[in-house]
A and B are shown apart, each in its own frame.
Chain A
Amino acid sequence: MRSRSLIMPLLLVILFWVLQILIFRNFAFFNKAFCYIYIGFILTLPYEIPHMAAMLIGLFFGFTIDVFYDTLGMHMASCVFIAYIRPYVINMLTPRGGYDATMELSIQSLGFQWFASYSAILIFIHHTLLFAIESWGLNVFFLAISKIILSTAFTFGVFILLQFLLFSRKR
């Protein structure tokens, strides 16, 4: 159990990173819908992880994405932000019975509805921040809005699909 808890996140980092940089970086549907699947790694971080450590992970993970997008700082800022508000979103969505002590943030342990709303909220916040920073001072408000909505839907779909693919065989 102990070794799994160390190796699993490492594999996840590599998986999300490779997916983002080598595959989804080249995709854009209708020139508007982008997939920033890499934030799935921050979303699936264990609940017990210290708050500040999560933010640092967000910072460094965002950095490795940023250098490939030539947008130094933008992904970092958005990642740190969702890493910061993640515990508050989790607390806000507390189910009736409360959380178990050794909880895993996955569809299996918390149900589809909880997981979908959790990831949709955080993905939307991340994308809003990202496109807002990117289009800063530019007169493209409606284009940015459509990009945010379409990209949120795209990333959300891929993320949920990935969850089913990766974690469904455990039971």
Chain B
Amino acid sequence: MHRLFHFLYQHKAFLFFLILETICIWLIIRNNSYQSASYFNTSSYVVGEVLRTTNNVTEYFNLKDVNAQLAGENARLKKLLTKEYQKQDFIISNKSEFLKANQYNFIPAKVVNNSTNRFTNFITLDKGSLDGIKPGMGVIGQDGVVGKVKSCSENFSTVISLLHEKWSVSAKIANGGIDGIVKWQGTDPAVAELQYVGRHHHFSIGDSVVTSGYNTLFPPGILIGRIQDFKIDQGKPFYKINVKLATDFSTLKYVYVIENYLKAEKDSLEQSSNYSSDE
């Protein structure tokens, strides 16, 4: 027994090292696991405040670009609105249709922290649970899909960017309604891969890839990107399609968090029928 203690004492630094590394590895695994509640990240109060202050200083340098972006989006929305007014015969006949027409709410938020060049990228927003944001909501930018809320505090939220190798989004090629899954490959922040498109389908370069609407994160038809190139290897069942992402993640300044009023209903129905939509 005495020898054992002596041994432990002699190697106390090494044992201490092992204990600390075990703690770290446990934290890494816990933090990586899918949508775990995690308290120590950029949505915590102190960290969020520091990031917001930094952002307040740096945002003046790109005000011009942001103005141009917002003006562009205003113009686009105005066009959509006019189109909507012109639909004279837009009659809502029952309650279910009314609910579906007003299914989505968009919460605008400012990006206070963003990364694009790591293997796992996250975005921090300056809105949190007080503004109605909950973990699991989808996030879009003015050009297309951005990501999904991972965790939020009262005033900040952390978003898993589309540029995260563990996350993927259910998608389809708009022209022809071909289903697939868009997943980032960890290399180029402007390009992702559209997977599981069978070899019997036909499409062409430049076709737009949009959200499918099979999951409750995004409304159907939100642009993800456009097909850049594709190839198919001999004997492989699926195409290898590269998608040029519509969102420029490096200049992302303002985003919209999507609140889906019917999410709980759809999810619980699918769960009770023992079927889960892919994400």
Contacts and interface: CB of A to CB of B under 8 A. Distances in A.
B119 interface: yes
A74 B26 CA distance: 10
Nearest to A81: B21
Contacts of A139: 185-186
Contacts of B119: 134-135, 138, 140, 144
Contacts of B42: 67-68, 70
A162 interface: no
B40 A72 contact: yes
B54 interface: yes
Interface string A72-102: 1110110011001000000000000000000
A55 B38 contact: no
Nearest to A64: B47
Contacts of B264: none
Given A68-B42, A72-B41, A21 B50 contact: yes
Interface in A27-71: 28, 31-32, 34, 51-52, 55-56, 59, 62-63, 66-71
A143 B186 contact: yes
Interface in B25-50: 25-31, 38, 40-42, 44, 47, 50
Nearest to B250: A31
B158 interface: yes
A22 interface: yes
A116 interface: no
Contacts of A62: 24
A68 B27 CA distance: 15
A162 to B, nearest CB: 21
B21 A134 contact: no
Interface in B179-212: 185-187, 189
B41 A77 contact: no
Nearest to B151: A70
Interface residues of B, number: 41
A52 B16 CA distance: 7
Contact of A31 (B24, B40, B54, B189): B189
B118 interface: yes
Contacts of B186: 135, 138-140, 143
B21 A72 contact: no
A28 B117 contact: yes
B247 to A, nearest CB: 17
Given A22-B54, A52-B13, A140-B186, A71 B120 contact: yes
Contact of A80 (B20, B44, B51): B20
A70 B122 contact: yes
A55 B16 contact: yes
A163 B177 CA distance: 60
Given A73-B28, A74-B28, A77-B28, A59 B20 contact: yes
A19 interface: no
A84 B24 CA distance: 14
A105 interface: no
B117 A67 contact: no
A148 B153 CA distance: 34
A89 B261 CA distance: 59
B20 A67 contact: no
B158 A70 contact: yes
A133 interface: yes
Given A67-B41, A70-B41, A134-B119, 16 more contacts: A21-B50, A31-B189, A55-B16, A55-B20, A68-B42, A68-B47, A68-B50, A68-B113, A69-B118, A72-B27, A72-B30, A73-B29, A73-B31, A77-B21, A80-B24, A140-B185
Nearest 10 interchain pairs by C-beta: A73-B27, A73-B28, A77-B24, A70-B122, A72-B31, A31-B117, A84-B17, A51-B13, A76-B24, A28-B117
Interface of A: 21-22, 26, 28, 31-32, 34, 51-52, 55-56, 59, 62-63, 66-74, 76-77, 80-81, 84, 133-135, 138-140, 143-144
25 contacts: A21-B50, A31-B116, A51-B13, A52-B16, A55-B16, A66-B40, A67-B41, A67-B44, A68-B51, A69-B118, A70-B42, A70-B120, A70-B122, A71-B28, A73-B31, A74-B24, A76-B27, A77-B21, A84-B13, A84-B17, A133-B28, A134-B120, A139-B186, A140-B119, A143-B187
